[in-house]
Amino acid sequence: KVDPNTMSLKSKIVRKKITSYIYQDRTIAGPLLRLAFHDAATREGSTTGGSNGSVQYELSWSENRALSRPLKIVKQVYQDVSLPPPSALATVALSAQKGGDWKISLADVIALAGAQAVEVAGGP
C-alpha cells in the first residue's frame, strides 16, 4: 500500500478519480494495469525507455489492442487534474504543499492508474 502521507495532493486526486472509475466498472482495473505496463515497456531505440505516455500513439500495435478504453479514462482524469484548482482553498492548499506545482504528465497519470488498479484489487 502507498502511504497517503507521502503522496502529493495531485497524486491523491488522481488515485481517488481512478478508484471511482474502478468502482463504477470493476472490469476496468485489469486494463488500467495493462495500460501502465505497456506504457512502461516501450520499445524504444534509445537507452531511456520507460513510462513516457507514448502508448497513446501506439494503439494500432497488436500488443496494445484493447487499450483504447483504459486510455480514454486516463486521459479524462489527466484532463481533469491538469486544469487549475477550481477553488481558492485548493489553490492555497497547493501553495502550501512543498513545491506547490500543479503540473503532472500523462505518463504520471498512466503509472498512477496502474498502481491504483493493483491497490483497489487488493494486490501488493
Please tell me the number of Cα atoms within 13 Å of 107 on its side-chain side: 11
Per annotation, catalytic residue among 22, 38, 53, 116:
38
Q: Rounded distance, CA 55 to CA 75, Å?
A: 12
99 is catalytic: no
Q: Which residue type sits at 110?
A: I
Contact predicate 37/67, CB 8 Å: no
Angle at 117 between CA 6 and CA 114, to 5 degrees: 75
C-alpha cell at 106: 500523462
Q: Which residues are catalytic?
A: 38
